[in-house]
């Protein structure tokens, strides 16, 4: 990152390249408060979602991103983006406390046992979650491993290069979600992020994603199930999903409930797994993503899990004109990753 002149305003662009859309948020740092400069949303072509020529898809995504940021009127070309959770390998390992020089080599050696691909083919990142006592004399570090394919990282870097944006950082969606939904809160929290094609279950502990799982159930899965069960077209099924959700006594809640069963099973498993491993209780569940606003969904999850469930608001830590509040509240869950990415570079 280049040096900024004294008194020059700093602004950063968070770009969420999703499976079916691109979201961007530009935030400006004014003192200690991030201020919203602009935001934008664009649907991706169905040709980008199904298999196609990777080079053509790169060009399409880069062109759409450039068109979007021009239309949004951004003032900075310094961007941060994220790899999707389902494409990144995460694991928590335990190592004895040691100095930093030894730690790097020890983590790399240990990572070979957990990462399901050759270590030379991945970009490996790690960070210490916490320190736990083994006995009166010995302590261990709990370390979060994150690994992504070098080819995947290369594709994302190429998209931003072709879109004429300066890519400052590339992280995982889990870190961005934790930043936008929790800020500096230390509460042990489960985030359920439902995109068009997947649902990610993330446990944030001490501001670090300590558990991360992904399931192939998303908003499109739900809409298709409604369309097939009721023999209606996809767009009408999508509207039923948005209007009825888990409320009322029609067939819709029953259909959605059956589709969400694997998600709920995984949530229950993850709750118990993390509590058994860490000895900590998950205090709350935050919903994010396009399906977070389905009527009565928080209440449904809360009843099943016996945990407080709320819809997340990534704008709560951002200053913006009050006249934008209705529009921002309507899209809040969809922009959680993009807001978290833009916040990364704001101190």
Give the count of alpha carbons within 13 A of 25, CB side only.
31
Give the whole-angstrom CA distance, residue 333 versus residue 201.
15
The answer to whether residue 187 sits within a structural domain is: no
**Residues 271, 165: one domain?**
no
Please state, in angstroms and as integers, the Cα–Cα distance from residue 254 to each residue in 221, 222, 246, 284, 303, following that order: 14, 11, 8, 25, 15
The phi, psi pair for 51, rounded to 5°, reads -65, 140
What does the buried/exposed string (b/e) look like for 208-225 if buried means 16 or more CB atoms within 10 Å of the residue's CB?
bbbbbbbbebbbbbbbeb
For the chain, the domain total comes to: 3
The SS3 call for residue 79 is: strand
Give the whole-angstrom CA distance, residue 253 versus residue 276.
32
Q: Is there a contact between 329 and 289 (Cβ–Cβ < 8 Å)? A: no
Q: What's 238's domain CATH number?
A: 3.30.420.40
The range of the structural domain enclosing residue 109 comes to 87-149
pTM reported for the whole predicted model: 0.89
**Residues 37, 129: one domain?**
no
The phi, psi pair for 7, rounded to 5°, reads 90, -10
The confidence score (pLDDT) of residue 182 equals 94
The SS3 call for residue 73 is: coil
The answer to whether residue 204 sits within a structural domain is: no
**Residues 54, 161: one domain?**
yes
pLDDT in tens, the chain (347 residues): 222 233 346 899 999 998 889 999 999 988 878 999 999 999 987 555 555 677 788 899 999 999 999 999 999 999 999 999 888 988 888 899 988 888 888 999 988 988 888 889 999 988 888 888 888 888 888 888 899 999 999 999 999 999 999 999 999 999 999 999 998 888 999 999 999 889 999 999 888 898 889 999 999 999 999 999 999 999 999 999 999 999 988 899 999 999 999 999 999 999 999 999 888 999 999 999 989 999 999 999 999 999 999 999 999 999 999 999 999 999 999 999 999 999 998 87
The answer to whether residue 195 sits within a structural domain is: no
**Residues 17, 125: one domain?**
no
The answer to whether residue 265 sits within a structural domain is: yes
DSSP H helices, 290-347, are: 297-305, 325-331, 336-344
């Amino acid at each position: 990152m280049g040096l900024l002149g004294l008194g020059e305003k700093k602004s950063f662009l968070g770009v969420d390249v999703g499976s079916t859309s691109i979201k961007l948020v530009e935030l400006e740092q004014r003192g200690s408060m991030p201020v919203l400069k602009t935001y934008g949303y664009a649907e991706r072509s169905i040709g980008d979602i199904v298999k196609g020529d990777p080079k053509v898809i790169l060009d399409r995504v880069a062109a759409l991103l450039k068109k979007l940021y021009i239309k949004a009127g951004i003032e900075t070309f310094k961007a941060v983006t994220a790899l999707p959770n389902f494409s990144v390998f995460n694991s928590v390992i335990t190592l004895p406390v040691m100095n930093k020089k030894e730690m790097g080599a020890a983590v790399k050696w240990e990572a070979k046992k957990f990462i399901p691909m050759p270590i030379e083919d991945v970009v490996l990142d790690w960070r210490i979650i916490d320190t736990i006592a083994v006995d009166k004399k010995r302590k261990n570090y709990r370390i979060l491993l994150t690994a992504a394919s070098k080819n995947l990282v290369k594709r994302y870097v190429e998209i931003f290069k072709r879109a004429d944006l300066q890519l400052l950082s590339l992280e995982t969606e889990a870190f961005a979600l934790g930043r936008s939904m929790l800020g500096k809160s230390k509460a042990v929290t489960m985030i359920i992020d439902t995109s068009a094609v997947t649902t990610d279950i993330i446990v944030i502990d001490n501001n670090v994603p300590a558990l991360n799982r992904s399931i192939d159930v998303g908003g499109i899965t739900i809409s298709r199930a409604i369309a097939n069960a009721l023999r209606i077209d996809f767009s009408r099924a999508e509207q039923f999903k948005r209007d009825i959700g888990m409320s009322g006594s029609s067939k819709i809640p029953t259909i959605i409930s059956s589709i969400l069963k694997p998600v709920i099973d995984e949530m229950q498993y993850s709750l118990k797994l993390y509590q058994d491993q860490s000895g900590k209780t998950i205090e709350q569940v935050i919903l994010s993503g396009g399906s977070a606003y389905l009527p009565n969904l928080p209440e449904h999850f809360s009843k099943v899990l016996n945990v407080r469930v709320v819809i997340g608001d990534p704008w709560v830590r951002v200053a913006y004109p009050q006249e934008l509040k209705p529009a921002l509240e309507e899209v809040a869950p969809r922009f959680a990753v993009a807001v978290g990415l833009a916040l990364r570079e704001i101190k």
